[in-house]
Homo-oligomer: A and B are copies of this chain.
């Protein structure tokens, strides 16, 4: 193992000079800097992470707490996790993956052991048990999602209200008047998962303003569940010409069921999905969709936590930013003008 002392000896300086060259915290002459750098390269020196964390009281690790639950669309989670990892690396941090089944104790463990400098929490509930722990430990953290009381924390999330409104506007612009909103399973709403409720609220408000009638129906995302939901919708409101789908699993079944029931998309009914573009493009017809960038979410979360850590290590009190990312509507082949009344 190559230590800083080996580098120092090789470059003919003291080890703290090597440390200063590497951290850039003191002025070092051009000549010495060059020599040290070339010794570092020649010996293949990498600072020992443990020693560095001990001495500097910073591990340069960010912990990312991901849900075990699989009722959220998994590729999105993965995309966020990867975006967090690559963004973190750009700021000189590594990412520790922990699962939220460790709960508040997990947060305590990570914070108290100094394993990570800060945390990013995913799948936050409105009234989350982990938040008081964070505050008690004085640990820097960012939430992906919104919580009731986010004092001392930063947050970032998609603007689901805007996403819901975009759906309503698009269908209203096309002349649709009766809409069905196919949501997640009822469990998601009972958990008060913010994203589900906020999308619905945004849709509901805009739908009201635009004079749309609509139904909201939960759906578990299986074929059977979608079939049941669709049957109920068509029984309750036979004049429905627009569908908003926020459940990734329900999209495929819905399209199949519409087809087999003799309804053509988009001539007879329009379908607009709240899902990743990649997924929207896999169906036939390709789906008009409202999307937020998962990568952006991860990137912003990292920037928030890195910013907080920088301020805190200078002895400051970080601002609690709340970022809402604006969603995008991409019009594809699944939406069109409402059919003329028969």
Q: Which residues 56-99 of A have a CB within 8 angstroms of B?
A: 59, 61, 64, 66, 68, 70, 74-75, 77-79, 81-82, 85-86, 89, 94-99
Is the pair B282, A249 in contact by a Cβ cutoff of 8 Å? Answer: yes
- Taking the closest CB of chain B, its distance from the CB of A230, in whole angstroms, is 12
Is the pair B77, A89 in contact by a Cβ cutoff of 8 Å? Answer: no
**For the complex, is A327 an interface residue (Cβ under 8 Å from B)?**
no
Q: Which residues 270-314 of A have a CB within 8 angstroms of B?
A: 278, 281-284, 286
Q: For the complex, what is the distance from the CA of A284 to the CA of B265, rounded to whole Å? A: 19
**For the complex, is A46 an interface residue (Cβ under 8 Å from B)?**
yes
Q: For the complex, what is the distance from the CA of A279 to the CA of B291, rounded to whole Å? A: 23
Q: Which residue of B lies closest to A109 (CB)?
A: B46
By a CB distance below 8 angstroms, the chain B residues around A75 are 74-75, 78
**For the complex, is A44 an interface residue (Cβ under 8 Å from B)?**
yes
**For the complex, is A212 an interface residue (Cβ under 8 Å from B)?**
no
Is the pair B59, A85 in contact by a Cβ cutoff of 8 Å? Answer: no
Is the pair B77, A282 in contact by a Cβ cutoff of 8 Å? Answer: no
Is the pair A97, B115 in contact by a Cβ cutoff of 8 Å? Answer: no
- Taking the closest CB of chain B, its distance from the CB of A74, in whole angstroms, is 4
Is the pair A283, B48 in contact by a Cβ cutoff of 8 Å? Answer: no
Chain A 237-258, CB-CB to B under 8 Å as 1, else 0, gives 0000000000001001100100
Q: Which residues 202-244 of A have a CB within 8 angstroms of B?
A: 221-223
Is the pair A86, B59 in contact by a Cβ cutoff of 8 Å? Answer: no
Residues of A in contact, count (CB < 8 Å): 56
- Taking the closest CB of chain B, its distance from the CB of A233, in whole angstroms, is 18
**For the complex, is A29 an interface residue (Cβ under 8 Å from B)?**
no
**For the complex, is A130 an interface residue (Cβ under 8 Å from B)?**
no
By a CB distance below 8 angstroms, the chain B residues around A341 are none
Is the pair A81, B54 in contact by a Cβ cutoff of 8 Å? Answer: no
Q: Which residues 100-148 of A have a CB within 8 angstroms of B?
A: 101-102, 108-109, 112-115
Q: For the complex, what is the distance from the CA of A196 to the CA of B86, rounded to whole Å? A: 28
By a CB distance below 8 angstroms, the chain B residues around A78 are 74-75, 77-78, 81
Q: For the complex, what is the distance from the CA of A278 to the CA of B71, rounded to whole Å? A: 12
Which of B50, B97, B222 contacts A85, CB < 8 Å?
A: B97
**For the complex, is A53 an interface residue (Cβ under 8 Å from B)?**
yes
Q: Can you list 13 pairs linking A and B with CB atoms under 8 Å apart?
A: A1-B112, A45-B112, A49-B114, A50-B54, A53-B53, A64-B97, A74-B74, A74-B79, A81-B97, A89-B99, A94-B115, A95-B96, A95-B98
